[in-house]
């Protein structure tokens, strides 16, 4: 009987959902080719682009020391794209799949796809002076 119970528990555990990818993993898969593995804008594909990708480690420094979360989310999701790089930066459908997280942006609680938020939070952690 113990073995039957153990087999059932292990079977249920094996069916559990895999962990969602981290912001670092999503960045590596979707952004690093242009922005570089270290997010400084030196990715292998940056040489063929008309405009050099942004150094994403300096977003806070260029914004008075405050990480511009709303602008980052809006830029990645395509809502707030600069016309100068609009055609160079692809759309990321995978960032919009999955569950939503409630995020307060400028005093308003906004639903944000968890993968998109994970990438933005990863970029926030990479900030340097």
What pLDDT does 6 receive?
45
CA distance 111 to 109: 7
CATH value at residue 41: 1.10.760
What pLDDT does 15 receive?
63
The reply to whether 97 falls in a domain is: yes
Whole-angstrom CA distances from 14 to 4, 8, 22, 73 are 15, 10, 21, 34
What pLDDT does 51 receive?
85
The count of structural domains within the chain is 1
Which residues of the chain register pLDDT less than 50? 4, 6
What pLDDT does 101 receive?
95
The reply to whether 103 falls in a domain is: yes
Is residue 113 classed exposed, middle or buried when 0-12, 13-18 and 19+ CB atoms within 10 A define those classes?
A: buried
């Amino acid at each position: 009987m113990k073995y039957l119970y153990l087999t059932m528990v292990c079977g249920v555990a094996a069916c559990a959902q895999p962990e969602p990818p981290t912001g670092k993993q999503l960045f590596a898969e979707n952004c690093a080719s242009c922005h570089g593995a270290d997010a400084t804008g030196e990715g292998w594909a940056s040489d063929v682009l008309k405009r050099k990708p942004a150094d994403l480690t300096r977003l806070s420094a260029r914004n008075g020391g405050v990480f511009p979360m709303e602008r980052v989310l809006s830029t990645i999701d395509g809502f707030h794209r600069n016309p100068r790089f609009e055609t160079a930066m692809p759309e990321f459908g995978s960032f919009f799949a999955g569950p939503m997280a409630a995020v307060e942006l400028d005093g308003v609680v906004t639903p944000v796809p968890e993968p998109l938020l994970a990438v933005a939070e990863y970029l926030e952690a990479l900030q340097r002076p």
